Structure 1
C-alpha cells in the first residue's frame, strides 16, 4: 500500500543538505541493487545534475515520495527540445526496500499532468537495466522495449595501452582540440557529426540532432558553462581538408576520476579505413596521458551497432550490462493509470 507515502514536487533550488543526502541515498541504493560492480554517482554529482541538467537534456522537473521525512522514491522528467520536443524522458527510481508497494506507479501518475501541460505525446525511459525489477515494472505498466544498448567501460588500470597505438590511415591526418573546434574545420566537423544519423535507434522516437556550425558552437558553450571539458580527435581527409570522422569524450568537474565517451562517427564515404578505431585509440591515449586521475571511461552503444561494439572492444572496453529503452504514448499511459 502507498497510504503512508506522500508524493510531492521537489525543487532542487530550495532543497536542503539533508534532502539532497536523502535523494542521493535512494539513487545509491538503487544503483547498488541494479548495477552491481559499477561506481555509483557521488553526492556532488547528483546535486550538480539536479541543480543544472546536463547539456542537451533540456529543462527538468522532479517529484519525490516520502515516508514521514524519509525520501523513498524519485521521479525525474527531462523535457527534450528541438527534434525531440514531443518526448518526456522519464525516470522512476524506488529504493529497493520499498519496491512492490505501488510507490513507483503513484509517482508516474503524479507526473502525467505536467507532461500534458508541456504538450508531450510520448514517454520514454532510457535507463532501465535489462532483466531487473525495473524492466518488469515498466512492461507491466504498458511500456514496451524499443531499443537495447550495451553499457560499457574502459578501466584504465586493466587496459592494454598498446591497443591505443593505431596507425593513421594513408590519406588522412589527425586534428585534436579541447573546448572549441578550430574555425578552419568547424563547418566540415558539423557535417561529420551528422554521420551519427546512421547509428540505429531501434523504435525509439528520439532523433539525432541536425548539426550546424551554430549548433556546434552552442553545444560547446553549454559544456564550458558547466565546467565540462570536451576533447575531440578528428580524422581530416588530406585531399579535401574536411573532417571525415571524429570522436569525443567529456570530463565532468565533479568526477575527476571518470570520463564519458560520447559520439563517434565516420562519414559514409570514408568508412572501411579503420578511422573509428584510429580516432578513438588516439583520444584514449591523449586523455590518459594528460589526465592521469581518470580511472574509468564509460559509454553506451546500441546493441545492434556491431561495428562500434567491435571498435570499442578493440580499444579495450568491456560490456557491463544491457540497458533497455522503453516507450509509451502519453494517451495510452493516461488510460492505463486511470
Structure 2
C-alpha cells in the first residue's frame, strides 16, 4: 500500500501545510493519548515556522492518493557543540491510515537525512504500550529512558500545605521571579544555575550537554516569546548572589487550562535544603494568583529520578501516564 503514499519535504511551511500537520497530530494524539490536550492550530504553525535555539528543522508531509494528509515527520537537528551529533524525531500517522507503510516511508526519509547530516543518534518519544512504542521496537530503536508524567490539579491540591511550603523561610535564601527574559542583573547567575540541568537523569540517551551563558538564556526566552508562549520563572538566590535553583513554567499560547513544567533544578552545592519543594510551591501560588485560567500543571520525570518524583508527589502531583524515550544508533562514516 505504501506506493500510494506521497512524501513531500516542506521547505517553506504554508498555512495549508500547517493545517494539514495539525489535522494529523490531533487525530494521532486523540487515538494514542486520550485525555492529553493536543496543540492548537496556532501552536503547530508557530512550532513549524518559528526559529528554534541552536537547531534547525526538516519536515515531511505524507499524503494519500487523494492528497489527504495521512502522516507527518519533523526532525530537529541540533547544532551547538556537544549536541551536534544528535537529532530528535516527531512522527505521527493518522490512525485511519495506519498499517499502510506511511510511518516506515517517513522514517526512511528521516534516517537518510540523519546520515546526510552526519548524525549518530536519533531519539524519539512514544507513549508507553502504544503503537508508537511497537513501531520503535520493530525498527530496532533501543529503549533508553522511561518517563513518568504527573499532573497537579488545582481543585485537588491541599491549598494550606502549598501556602505553608511556599511561604516557608529558608535562611540565607530569597525568592525572586520574572516573566519572559531574565533581568540583566540575574542573567549570569541564572545561566550558571541552568548548567545544573546537565546532571539530570537521561538514562542511556546519547543526549550530550548544553553550555549555558547569559546570551543563551536570553535567546531561549526570545524563542519562546516568538512562538507566542509565556515563560514564568521563580528562582532562589543565595545571600552571596549566586542562584541556588529555579523552576520554570510554560503557558502555551491561547491560554489553555494546562500549564507545562519546564526545568526545575537546584545547584549541587545547595541541595538538601528543601529548595526544590519551596520553589515549586511558590510557583503554584503564583499561578493560582496571577493566571486564573490555569487549572492544572503537567510535568515529567525520569522514573529513576527518585528525588524529583518525591518532591512532586509531596506537592500533590499524581502519576497519570508514562512515555518511553527510544534511540536509534546510526552508523557514521
RMSD: 2.1
For residues 96 and 200 of structure 2, the distance between their equivalents in structure 1, rounded to whole angstroms, comes to 38
1:225 counterpart residue number = 226
- Report the equivalent of 1:158: 156
Distance, in Å, in 2 between the alignment partners of 1:58 and 1:161 is: 41
Match of 1:77 in 2: 75
Q: State which of 63, 66, 77 in structure 1 corresponds to 2:60.
A: 63
Task: Tell me the CA shift for residue 61 of structure 1.
Answer: 1.3
- Cα distance in structure 1, aligned partners of 2:6 and 2:271: 54
Task: Check whether the contact 1:168–1:174 (CA below 8 A) recurs between aligned residues.
Answer: no
Task: Give the Cα–Cα distance (whole angstroms) in 2 for the partners of residues 36 and 210 of structure 1.
Answer: 37
* Correspondence for 1:249: 249
Q: Residue 121 of structure 1 corresponds to which residue in structure 2?
A: 120
Map of 1:136 onto structure 2: 134
The total of aligned residue pairs comes to: 328
Cα distance change, pair 4–131 in 1 and its aligned pair in 2 (3 A): same
Residue 312 of structure 1 deviates from its aligned partner by 1.3
Q: 1:96 to 1:225 in 2, by over 3 A?
A: closer
Alignment equivalent of 1:31, drawn from 29, 32, 35: 29
2:194 aligned with 1:196, yes or no?
A: no
2:321 paired with 1:321: yes
Question: Cα gap change, 1:14/1:3 in structure 2, threshold over 3 Å: closer, same or farther?
Answer: same
Q: How far off its partner does 1:279 sit?
A: 0.6
Q: Secondary structure at the match of 1:46?
A: helix
Compared with structure 1, are the counterparts of its residues 208 and 309 closer, same or farther at alpha carbon in structure 2 (3 Å cutoff)? farther
In the alignment, the residues of structure 2 paired with residue 245 and residue 112 of structure 1 have an alpha-carbon distance, to the nearest angstrom, of 38
What SS is found at the alignment partner of 2:331?
A: helix
Which SS does the other structure have where 2:184 is aligned? coil
Aligned counterparts of 2:215 and 2:45: Cα–Cα separation in 1: 30
Distance (Å, rounded) in 2 between the aligned partners of 1:298 and 1:158: 14
Q: Equivalent residue for 1:290? A: 290
Note the alpha carbon deviations across 1:176-217, whole angstroms, 9 max, x for none: 122233333332222211112221111111134212222222
Q: 1:57 to 1:308 in 2, by over 3 A?
A: farther
**Counterpart in the other structure of 1:105:** 104
Change over 3 Å in CA distance of 1:228–1:168 after alignment to 2: farther
What CA distance in whole angstroms lies between the structure 1 residues aligned with 2:321 and 2:302?
Answer: 12
Secondary structure of the equivalent of 2:55?
coil
Q: Secondary structure at the match of 1:158?
A: coil
CA distance in 1, matches of 2:83, 2:212: 14
* Residue pair 1:12, 1:50 contacting (<8 A) in 2 also: no
| Superposed displacement of residue 25, structure 1 | 2.2
Cα distance, 1:141 vs structure 2: 0.7
Matching residue of 1:169? 170
User: What is the Cα deviation at residue 287 of structure 1?
Assistant: 1.9
Deviation for aligned residue 1:11 = 4.3
Superposition deviation, residue 291 in structure 1: 1.0
Question: For 2:13 and 2:5, how far apart are their aligned partners in 1?
Answer: 23
Whether contact under 8 Å (2:87, 2:123) holds in the other structure is yes
Partner of 2:236: 235
Q: TM-score, length-normalised on structure 1?
A: 0.90
Deviations 1:93-120 (A, max 9, x none): 1111222222111111122332222222
Query: Could you state the TM-score of these two structures normalised by the residue count of structure 2?
Result: 0.91
Q: CA–CA distance in 2 between the matches of 1:56 and 1:286?
A: 27
- Partner of 1:264 in structure 2? 264
CA 236–120 in structure 1, closer or farther in 2 if over 3 Å, else same: same
Give the superposition deviation at 1:57: 7.0
